[in-house]
Amino acid sequence: MGRGPDADRAKIGRKMEHALSSEDLAAVIHQNSEAVVVTDTNGVIVYANEAMAMLSGYEIDELIGRTPSVFRSGKTPDEVYAEMWRTIKAGRTWRGRLINKRKPSLPLRIAGGKPGQEAEEYWALLTITPVLGSDGTTRFFAAAHHDITQKVALEERLAFEREEAKTRADIWEVLHG
C-alpha cells in the first residue's frame, strides 16, 4: 500500500465511511450552516437543508420538485448558467458567483433571518459538485450556496473609493502639475 499524504487521506476516508452512518451523513448536511441544495440530473430539486430555506425564504417543501431557476434574479448573464451546466454535465465541479433572489415579500428578519436580509436579491457564491454513483455516472448535483452580498458590497465600495482617489489625484496633477 502507498505511503504519504494521499494514502493517509484514503485511509481516513475509509475510516469515516465506517464511522458515519447514512443517517449521520444526512444529519451533517441537514444541520450544516452552509445552504445546500441537491438536484437530480435534470435540475429538479430533491433536497434542500434548513440553511437554504433561511437564505432563500422558501420552505423546504416549496423547493422540492422545483428547479433552482426559482432563485434566478434575471441579473446573472445567461452565459454564466450555460457555462455552469457545461461544466457540471461534464462531471466537473463549478464554482462561481450569481445574483439570486429570495422568495418575494418575506420579512426574513421576523422569520429569523439576518438583519438586512429582507432585500429580494443577494449575491451567492456557489460550488456545484456532480455526485457520482458506483458506476461512475452522475446521479445528483450538490450545490453549496454562500451569501456573499456584504463582501460584494464592500468590494464595490472599495473599487469606487479607489476610482475616486485616482480621479482626485488626476485633478490635483492637472491643477498643480
Question: For residue 163, what pLDDT band results from cuts at 50, 70 and 90?
Answer: confident
List, in order, residues 6 or more apart from 1 with CB less than 8 Å away.
7
What's the mean per-residue pLDDT of the chain? 84
Neighbours of 71 (CB within 10 A): 26
Write down the pLDDT at residue 23: 81
Neighbours of 112 (CB within 10 A): 8
Contact between residue 54 and residue 113 where contact means Cβ atoms under 8 Å apart: yes
Whole-prediction pTM: 0.70
**Topology annotation, domain 34-147:** Beta-Lactamase (3.30.450)
pLDDT tens column, 17-58: 667 777 877 777 777 789 999 999 999 999 999 999 999 999
Torsion sign (Cα): 54, 60, 62, 66: positive
Domain boundaries, the chain: 1-31, 34-147
3-state secondary structure of 138: strand
Contact between residue 63 and residue 39 where contact means Cβ atoms under 8 Å apart: no
Which three cell numbers, joined as nine digits, stand for 143? 450545490
Question: For residue 151, what pLDDT band results from cuts at 50, 70 and 90?
Answer: confident
Torsion sign (Cα): 29, 30, 35, 39: positive
Write down the pLDDT at residue 39: 98
Dist. CA 68–CA 148, nearest whole Å = 18
Which three cell numbers, joined as nine digits, stand for 55? 437564505
pLDDT tens column, 62-103: 999 999 999 999 999 999 999 999 999 999 999 999 999 999
Write down the pLDDT at residue 79: 97
Write down the pLDDT at residue 1: 53
